[in-house]
C-alpha cells in the first residue's frame, strides 16, 4: 500500500452514525507523514483551501478557517505523538493514525459522518484531501480542486460504500 495511488475505503455504523475509514500508503517515512498531519502549517499547506490551527496535545484547541466562513472550533481528543491524533470537527470526530511501512508509511483516516446520505460526499472530499497530501509530501504544488467535489469521485464512493444498515 505504499504507492500513494490507492485508497482503501470502508464504512460501518458507529452507534447510529456511519464511520468512514480510508487508508492510503505514502512513499514518505512515518516521521515525515506524522509532521504533515500534526503540524498546523503543514496541514494548512495540503488541506487547501482549509487552514487549520491545532494545539498538538490532548484537550488542545483546533480552529478551522475556511474562506468566506466564520471560524469553527474543535478539541483534540487523542494525541499519541508520532502515531495518532483525533479531534472534533462540528458534530464529527476525525482520527488520523500513522503506521510505518518499511521506508514508507500508511495513513488511516476515520471520521464519523453526520448522516448516511452524506457518506459518498464525505469520502470524495477526503479523497481530494489525501491526494493533496500526496502532492505535498512529494514536494509538488498542491492541486487545489477547481470545484468542491468531483461528481465522478462521489459516484465511485457511492458504488463502493453501501450505506451501512
- Hey, what's the cell of 7? 485508497
* Contact criterion met (CB below 8 Å) for 50 and 58: no
> In the structure, what pLDDT confidence band is assigned to residue 72 with cuts at 50, 70 and 90?
very high
In angstroms, the CA 165 to CA 2 distance is 32
- Hey, what's the cell of 153? 469521485
> In the structure, what pLDDT confidence band is assigned to residue 142 with cuts at 50, 70 and 90?
confident
Q: What is this structure's pTM?
A: 0.90
In angstroms, the CA 46 to CA 48 distance is 5
Q: Nearest-CA neighbor of 108 among 86, 88, 78, 128? A: 86
Residue 4: per-residue pLDDT: 38
Burial code (b: 16+ CB inside 10 Å, e: under 16) for 109-142 equals bbbbbeebeebbbbbbbbbbbbbbbbbbbeeeee
**Structural domains of the chain, with CATH:** 7-48+80-160 (3.30.530.20)
Q: What is the tens place of the pLDDT at every residue in 85-137?
A: 999 998 899 999 999 999 999 999 999 998 888 999 999 999 989 999 999 99
> In the structure, what pLDDT confidence band is assigned to residue 2 with cuts at 50, 70 and 90?
very low
Q: How many CB atoms lie within 10 A of CB 67?
A: 8
Please give the distance of CA 139 from its chain centroid, rounded to a whole number. Answer: 19
Q: Nearest-CA neighbor of 142 among 39, 26, 48? A: 48
The runs of H, that is alpha helices, within 5-150 are: 30-38, 40-46, 119-137
Amino acid at each position: 500500500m505504499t504507492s500513494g495511488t490507492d485508497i482503501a475505503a470502508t464504512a460501518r455504523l458507529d452507534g447510529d452514525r456511519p464511520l468512514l475509514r480510508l487508508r492510503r500508503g505514502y512513499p514518505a517515512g512515518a516521521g515525515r507523514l506524522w509532521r504533515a498531519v500534526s503540524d498546523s502549517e503543514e496541514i494548512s499547506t495540503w488541506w487547501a483551501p482549509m487552514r487549520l490551527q491545532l494545539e498538538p496535545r490532548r484537550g488542545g484547541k483546533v480552529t478551522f478557517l475556511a474562506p468566506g466562513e466564520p471560524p469553527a472550533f474543535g478539541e483534540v481528543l487523542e494525541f499519541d505523538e508520532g502515531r495518532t491524533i483525533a479531534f472534533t470537527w462540528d458534530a464529527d470526530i476525525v482520527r488520523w493514525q500513522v503506521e510505518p511501512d518499511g521506508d514508507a508509511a500508511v495513513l488511516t483516516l476515520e471520521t464519523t459522518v453526520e448522516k448516511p446520505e452524506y457518506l459518498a460526499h464525505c469520502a470524495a472530499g477526503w479523497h481530494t484531501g489525501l491526494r493533496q497530501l500526496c502532492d505535498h509530501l512529494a514536494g509538488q504544488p498542491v492541486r487545489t480542486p477547481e470545484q468542491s467535489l468531483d461528481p465522478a469521485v462521489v459516484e465511485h464512493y457511492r458504488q463502493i460504500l453501501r450505506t451501512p444498515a
